[in-house]
Structure 1
Amino acid sequence: MNASKFAAVSTFALLAAFANVAAHADEADGSQYAGQATGQRTRAEVKAEAVAATGDRSQDLAALGNVAVHSTTTRAEVRAQAAKALRLGQISSGEAGAM
């Protein structure tokens, strides 16, 4: 008698749990809050505007004051300076270097 009551109660609990999950299944993605965007321009117009906006940006960089700097230091000198700084402990080495 106790086993049949236990089986009935556990079956009822499982059915209630599944019903609860099924009732709230659509709330996980938030699709009911998705907005609909409507525009006045066609896809081709937007694409043409994007292509026109990605033109030559070299003039923009020059206007910001970004100019190319040419170094007089050779690669060997830079490597020697880096090796010296590493030996003196001025720079860290490897992935576990102190910041």
Structure 2
Amino acid sequence: MWSYHSKNKNINIKYIYYYLKNKEKFFQQIGSKMQMPQISISDTDGFVIPIPPLSKQKQIVEILDKFDTLANSIAEGLPREIELRQKQYEYYRNLLLDFPKS
């Protein structure tokens, strides 16, 4: 469990969340080396997070939020995907079955 905050207005905290979530296995490996799994302050103090411009951070967060919605929301993602595949099927079916009339 991580808790972070920043007074820096050029940091999107959700960008930091996504970045750290992406590095979860790295931190699990560090923590698992201890008898009682934990991460020390020295492990996190030496960890560098690349901080792109705020506009880029916002763009990354928007894209990852959309993927998260599609991947995890049955109410939004799955029915939309089924609808798109149905339209794709109908399009190719019609293309295959609409022969030129002689």
TM (norm. structure 2) is 0.22
More contact order relative to length (CA 8 Å, sep ≥ 6): 2
Larger Rg: 1
